[in-house]
Amino acid sequence: MTLNFESTKILMDYAKKSNIPLIYSSSAANYGVNDKHPSNLYGWSKYVAEQYVISNGGIGLRYFNVYGPGEYNKGRMASVAFQMYQKNKKGEKISLFPKKPLRDFVYIEDVISANVHGWQNFEILKGNYYEVGCGQARGFEEVISLMSIPFEYTDESVIPIGYQFYTCSDRKKWMTGWYSEWDLEKGIKDYLITLEK
């Protein structure tokens, strides 16, 4: 709450006072397990910060599962693509949750283009949130397979309470005039070039 809400509130107050456009990096975690409300503290912290930003004239961009170059400092918050690539490189065993959860994996290039689009069209988009994804729900297995990494499944008992088993951005909630240009196949292929350098 300190990092995601209190810090955002300070920035938004300053932006509003100084008439500076603010675009907030929100999250699909806002939808939780029922597609209505967050199901953990992280989700709530992002949700209340987003609501504060849009109620004060900013834009909230709800990123889905972002992956791509520049993740080296994200630790446990790095994408499954990055984490599994690093584990495989070290010869560690790759274990996925059973029940085959599905995610909308969005490549960083789409996230960048969404932010630029929001900035360029701020006046007509401000005061609302928008989803940023590729519009397809895909399995973690597909990500790992596209990277040619072997995997196995963990026991169901390790799945956290409130875990989201399905996320997919709704194209009707994308910003007008913005479209995803990177599907999972294209994104992973491009990402592997960076990872293998």
**Catalytic site positions:** 42, 74
Structure tokens at 20: 């500076």
Beta-strand runs (E) in 133-171:
138-139, 152-153
Which is nearest to 87 in space by CA: 154, 150, 163?
150
Query: Could you give the 3-state DSSP secondary structure of residue 41?
Result: helix
Angle between helices 41-55 and 7-17 (to 10 degrees): 10
Q: Are 26 and 62 in contact (CB under 8 A)?
A: yes
Q: Is 66 helix (H, G, I), strand (E, B) or coil?
A: strand
Query: Is 62 within 8 Å of 104 (Cβ atoms)?
Result: no
User: How wide is the angle at C-alpha 48 spanned by C-alphas 51 and 72, nearest 5°?
Assistant: 105
- Could you give the 3-state DSSP secondary structure of residue 131? strand
